[in-house]
Chain A
Amino acid sequence: MAGPEIIAEADYLNHPVSLRAQYKQRSLWGDAMRRFSRNRLAMFGLGVLLLLLFLAVFADFITPYPYDQADFSVVNLLPFRDPAHILGADGVGRDYLTRLIYGARTSMLVGLSVPLFAFAIGVPLGAISGFRGGRVDFVVQRIVDIMTAVPPLLFALFLLSLTGSGVGNVIFVLSVTAWIEPTRLTRAQFLTFREKEFVASARAMGASDFRIALQHILPNALTPLLVSFTFAVPAAIFAEAGLSFLGLGITEPTASWGKMVGGGVGNYIRVYYHLALFPTLLVALTMLGFSFVGDGLQEALDPSRSQ
């Protein structure tokens, strides 16, 4: 609400600054950044995110072993027993710490690709649909209705059975179910904004539809889209983990946290607890991190919202 700005002004009154600084533009992004950085949870989330990205990118350099190297003498080794395998080993004798780090790579890969594809399809589609309306809008709305009626997991199962397993296929299948949300969101935004005066005035000035969409509406619509993207990433990670947990999706020897959890439940839990415990902790941490970032971003960009 009106809080922070008033304080800043008070500060200004007490501590006069140079003329240049006085007229310094306070941009939306600068404001947002500042608000974001003051949100401790959001910064924590950002830290988690950056750590994961680091792990994902530099996995080849920081892991003690290759991710598919099997040492048959340490099958199901419990953690904290052998310094050579500090987090233990899995059922085939692969170092668990290595697998967890490579799992970060899979998660980040899927988590970032799926929303990217989904938004790449959804935003233009939603924009055209919302802006133009008419028949295109009708068709798109119907498709969205239908896709919402099909249980997403079922659809994913079917598609995966058809395409086969593998990271690429998982990304494809998840993207197919993920493009609905950005379409809907963009369409809603465009529907709202096209009635606004500045659009009418731009049109009166002779701007083309495309120009209006790109230069006038999209920047305003960006905020909720950005926030939605930030929440789409953990959703994709969750979906991939869930599918792998059920036994579909990622093939061996690629490491996936979901698959590692799936391989550790059931009877293993009581004895080889590390098989399930560590990947679940990492998934939870990742999801929380993204969540805090998303919340923080939402609050930073649109502080009038009380959540």
Chain B
Amino acid sequence: MLRPYDRKPYGIQLLMTGYILQRLVSLFFVLLIVSAIVFVLMNLVPGGPFTLGERGYSEVELANLNRKYGLDVPVPQRYVNFLIGAVQLDFGNSFSVAGRPPVTELIARVWPTTLHLGLYTIIVSFGLGIPMGVVAAYYRNSWIDNFVTFTATLGLTVPNFIIATWLLLVFGFQNGWGAESKWIIPPLFGQGPALLSWDYFLPVLTYALAPLGLVARYTRASVSDALSADYVRTARSKGLSERFIMVRHVMRNALIPMVTVLLPQVPNLLTGSLFIEVVYGVPGLGKFFITSIFNRDYPMIMGLVLLIAAFWGLTYLVTDILYTLIDPRVRVFGRRNA
């Protein structure tokens, strides 16, 4: 609990910058090792980016093919070349898309769809989940509470591809993703996916159920904890208004555990769910991921993995910083943390 005499120690700014630097360096090394692991695994997996035709190839022909895809270079050398390019944010050209566009360009083309879905999912799950949790905590053990808990559990436990299957049973499979006839709000700047489209309803609904459940439960727990705290009783007995108590004391204290648990959901949602995209046929990052693996599009796979890993790493860092800012008693740096 926050008490008035908790203050941030002097010189925290310096510590903060040092901490951020330390974390960034650590992230860099993690990415390095991750890229090495994925690179090795990727090249160990049988099959390659070219289709082994029905009639096969002779030694010479295979050599030609390998040379064409840069696979005649030994793996360590290839990895080094990749690293040199990666530092300049050049991940090479995709093997599987016509015209061999650069990987970064393709990701930029495909990610917006997933981002749209992810953003809507975040809005729905947090926008509904937090009020639900707060209300449930406030009216604890009433029918509202039971309803919220039940919905939350349902959304959280049932796998999203199962829910997607049920929704498809009810609504039928939708085709023609991105068709202009389904647009509600056209794309921003005239390019890319529509800002809002009928296409998004089922995927967002399905995708949002699990985070909604998580958010609702944790909000309920945090708020409920905060509500039953001594100082709230004190504040009430002092005659402060409910609203003042809720906003000033309860929410602020409830925010702390919520941030640690819920903020990591954000990168998860923004990079999309493979299952959702496969079941609904969404041409997004997740589906691209899977097709890249099946097509053995090596540059694409490396680019995607590094991008996503970096994204997550940075988000964890932001979470930790936010955590520190919200709760001044916590020092995630300068002392070993659990």
Contact = CB atoms under 8 A, between A and B. Distances in A.
Q: Report which residue of A149, A261, A277, A284 has the largest number of chain B beta carbons within 10 angstroms of its beta carbon.
A: A149
B139 interface: no
Contact of B165 (A153, A188, A280): A280
A70 interface: no
A126 to B, nearest CB: 11
B34 interface: yes
A146 B37 contact: yes
Interface residues of A, number: 47
A155 B308 CA distance: 13
Interface residues of B, number: 49
B274 interface: yes
A69 interface: no
B278 interface: yes
A288 B157 contact: yes
Given A149-B34, A154-B289, A245 B309 contact: no
B159 A288 contact: no
A291 interface: yes
B141 to A, nearest CB: 11
B158 A162 contact: no
A267 B175 CA distance: 12
Contact of A149 (B161, B224, B228, B312): B312
A277 B169 contact: yes
Interface in A115-171: 142, 145-146, 148-151, 153-155, 157-159, 161-162
B157 A145 contact: no
Contacts of A291: 153, 156-157
Contact of B30 (A149, A153, A246): A149
Interface string B286-323: 00011001000000000001001100110000000000
Nearest to A234: B157
Contacts of B157: 234, 284, 287-288, 290-291
A261 B275 CA distance: 12
B338 A192 contact: yes
Interface stretch (A49-57, A79-87, A197-205, A268-276): A268-276
A14 B326 CA distance: 50
Interface in B162-179: 162, 165-166, 168-169, 172-173
A157 B293 CA distance: 8
A91 interface: no
A219 interface: no
Contact of A238 (B47, B159, B217): B159
Contact of B37 (A150, A187, A191, A242): A150
Q: Which of A146, A242, A267, A290 has the most CB of B within 10 A?
A: A146
Interface in B15-57: 26, 30-31, 33-34, 37-38, 41-42, 44-47
B169 A246 contact: no
A301 interface: no
30 contacts: A149-B34, A149-B309, A150-B38, A150-B309, A151-B309, A154-B38, A154-B293, A154-B305, A158-B41, A158-B42, A158-B293, A162-B41, A191-B336, A238-B159, A246-B278, A261-B161, A265-B279, A266-B173, A269-B165, A269-B173, A276-B165, A276-B169, A277-B166, A283-B159, A284-B157, A287-B159, A295-B153, A305-B221, A306-B225, A307-B218
